[in-house]
Amino acid sequence: MTSWRIVRMFAGCFILLSLALGVPGSPVFHSVYWLWFTAFVGLNLLQSAFTCWCPLEIVLRKFGAQPGC
């Protein structure tokens, strides 16, 4: 699996998890402040689209993940 696919998978999982923990109607609701984590992941994805720099991708490549296309 390439590093950019792993980054997208991590981002999707973290967004869904933080939404589950931050939305008051959720059965696993913890605190509304989890929505800040959702915003952080979204902003990181947005900036990486413009700068082509993602900290997670750098870490994944050091662990041996293949670079994207």
pTM for this entry: 0.83
Rg, Å, the chain Cα set = 14
Backbone angles phi, psi at 29, to 5 degrees: -55, 135
Looking up tokens 């959702």, which residue turns up?
A: 38
User: 24-50: per-residue pLDDT in tens?
Assistant: 999 999 999 999 999 999 999 999 999
Specify whether the CB–CB gap between 21 and 14 falls below 8 A.
Answer: no
- Range 60-65 average pLDDT: 92
Distant-in-sequence, close-in-space partners of 47: CB < 8 Å, separation ≥ 6: 53
Instruction: Check whether 69 has a pLDDT greater than 70.
Output: no
Q: Kindly indicate the confidence band of residue 67, based on its pLDDT and cuts at 50, 70 and 90.
A: confident
